[in-house]
Structure 1
């Protein structure tokens, strides 16, 4: 007989189901011995109507073969256990005792089993599928719960599984759920068929989302390029304005510099001003004797006036003949 699958303590439910399937596929009598116990060489006495043990020498070959099933079942269990697990069941005498010990060790007694069932039922009732979760991921979580319930001999009907999974889908699936409820008979719809239908719709949604996303990216790239172009134009315009401002500043500096170079020297300016002032003063001076602006009194060709002669003072001839020479001298000094 081929060696059965090994037990793993951290995944006992998975190993238990594999082991059960393996034993049943080989011999149903072996599984009967493991779960219900060894066959007993007992038969009813026709006279006393009581069950009596058949002596070995009176046992038929068929009965002996069936009685050997217990040892065969024990060997199958031994081959499926590691050394550490074997030490747990070393003191057990029958295959039934070995199997019961393994169940209590890894699944617990009836109280522990009930607690596990309550915990799994709570997980089943609170099961929710998020918006971004895929159908495969959600079904994997859901299947772990219902498989664990089945392993503990507790579970729901297939119809309940289908309805529960549909109710836990995100609201974005509402249209699809409504269509399934209207077009399918949920009493005959299997969970696998439902999952396949939802996965097809999920692929369509994903494809449409990628198309919309690609359009959004293209639009974003176009807006980005337009913005960069606008920024470049603004930068170019700003550079041109800056260059123009720099040119104006340079021109102003040059203009100021040229104006400073073309300005008349200070000495020449002073000479020009003095000559101009001299002309003005000279043009305003008059001879006190004759009133001629072309010469002064010292150069006057006319003879000196007497005391009764009028003097030209302040641009007019004086009518007073009684003014003395001191007054004339004062006026002359004042004009000068």
Structure 2
């Protein structure tokens, strides 16, 4: 079933990397300033609420809009875990730590994925489609952790991963 372009992608606690990418683009497509709020944190006026300018109020609304988008993407279980957060950045960071781990955990996962990438070979029993799916899972995982590999290296790796029987 297709996802509505008006509703944020739903997150049920599984397939976080997939959801994260979709949500990032969903928020950016609404208003790039919203993504800035998620990534950098909310604007906090240095004066009392009664003294806020129209610009201050507009900037504060961005955090509320970003929070609303995020909360609308959650079912009850995830919402319960995130509902105490007061900023979209806090929600995003909490989701990252919960689903990706701390920096040390991320580095370990990057290391494991890198090792998988470096040792990648086509298995004798798999067809090219399954091989490519497995390869994409590894490289997309690395990309999700900020370790993108240039296209020409990916192509070269795929070619070298084929068995000799392919005789290129």
TM-score (norm 2): 0.89
Match of 2:128 in 1: 135
Match of 1:31 in 2: 35
Whether contact under 8 Å (1:8, 1:15) holds in the other structure is no
Match of 2:10 in 1: 6
Superposed, 1:1-336 pairs within 5 Å as: 2-41=6-45, 53-56=46-49, 58-174=51-167, 176=168
CA deviation string 1:88-124 (max 9, x = no partner): 1222221111111111111111111111111111111
CA deviation string 1:167-186 (max 9, x = no partner): 10110122x2xxxxxxxxxx
Alignment size in residue pairs? 164
Offset of 1:22 from its aligned partner? 0.6
**Partners of 1:2 and 1:60 in 2: how far apart?**
31
**Partners of 1:132 and 1:108 in 2: how far apart?**
34
Alignment root-mean-square deviation, CA: 1.8
**5+ residue gaps in structure 1?**
42-52, 177-336
Q: Secondary structure at the match of 1:127?
A: coil
Offset of 1:155 from its aligned partner? 2.7
**Partners of 1:156 and 1:67 in 2: how far apart?**
38
**Partners of 2:76 and 2:62 in 1: how far apart?**
23
Q: Which has the larger radius of gyration?
A: 1
Structure with more relative contact order (C-alpha pairs < 8 Å, separation 6 or more)? 2
TM-score (norm 1): 0.46
Q: Secondary structure at the match of 1:91?
A: coil
Q: Secondary structure at the match of 2:15?
A: helix
Residues 111 and 40 of structure 1: CA distance in aligned 2, closer, same or farther (over 3 Å) = same
Which structure 1 residue ranges, 4+ long, deviate > 4 Å from structure 2?
54-58
Whether contact under 8 Å (2:12, 2:78) holds in the other structure is no
Offset of 1:54 from its aligned partner? 4.4
